[in-house]
Amino acid sequence: MSDTNKSAGAHIVRVDSDRSGQRLDNFLAARLKGVPKSAIYRMIRTGQVRINGSRCKAASRLEEGDEVRVPPARTRESAECVVAEPIRRQIAESLIFEDRDMLVFNKPSGMAVHSGSGLLWGLIDGVRQIRPGEFVELVHRLDRETSGCLVLAKNGRALSHLSAQFRDGQVDKRYLCLLDGLLREPVVEVDAPLRKLESGPQSQVEVTADGKPALTRFHLLQRFPDCSYAEVELFTGRTHQIRAHANHLGLPLAGDERYAGRDSVKKWKNRGLRRIFLHAHRIALRSPSGESLTLDAPLPAALRTVLDGLEQ
């Protein structure tokens, strides 16, 4: 049994300039080392955490000078994970861009971006162990199953600048996907609100009139006899947006065990696909220094092999 300590009572923390723009959940995770993410979310949800005296959400962005009420929390000191050397090496080798303000990784499929929901570590933890003592924060997120471009900030100013671009829809995000079925038009736009389902063993989202606005555009790249290779343009950033909108079209993503039917998943496994066919291949934004950047992550070999097999 791991040692369990209790921190001091609730206290107020003033946000410094280097944490301006950071999400509340990440801010708390950095201060409450060893506290499970699930416990942090519960503290926020139940109102134990306050920003300037007011209730808040996990995704709330902090500003310099904000006062955050940090409640007492039980920590498991021995639970702090060590990311294995082969994984750290894989993360280091997936770096595709770095300057003084940001890092961009080609995140592998199957690797979470952060710990939580039963996961002891994520890519961000590996990066912090590769670069101990450095400021490194996630600017946005990708599903665990999705590979491709993931942006991290190296200082508070960059975090605030980059997070604002993602939040305001100023980042051009492009994905490559394989749809199980035929996209009938060269360009298909899905403007359909999405809402998270409250029940079920795996979290899902569904198209519903009372959901949050979500806009996705599918560009047909190549049509095969029973599937379509497409580039996806995201105009909003909802959870599972591409997956849910593809399913709404009746064209679930190949290999999507959460949204596609059992027969579809089995068919693609027989064709050699062992993961979801969804890859964040390009991201275009303005760097904190004012430079326009377009960054590309090559399609993983496992997905390229599946495409090559369809062309034979």
In the block, residue with structure tokens 């971006």: 113
Helices and strands: H and E segment counts in the chain:
8, 17
Are 241 and 261 contacting, i.e. CB atoms less than 8 angstroms apart? no
Query: Which whole-number Å values give the CA distances from 81 to 99, 119, 122, in the listed order?
Result: 28, 10, 10
d(CA 35, CA 94): 28
d(CA 292, CA 211): 33
**If we measure between CA atoms, which residue out of 140, 149, 150, 161 comes closest to residue 20?**
161
The dihedral sign for the CA sequence 165, 107, 244, 205 = negative
Tell me the residue ranges of DSSP E strands in 26-126.
50-51, 67-70, 74-76, 95-98, 102-107
What is the pairing mode between strands 67-70 and 137-138?
unpaired
Burial classification of residue 62, based on how many CB atoms lie within 10 Å of its CB (0-12 exposed, 13-18 middle, 19 or more buried): buried
Residues annotated as part of the active site: 143
Q: How many Cα neighbours within 13 Å face the side chain of 177?
A: 33
d(CA 81, CA 37): 13
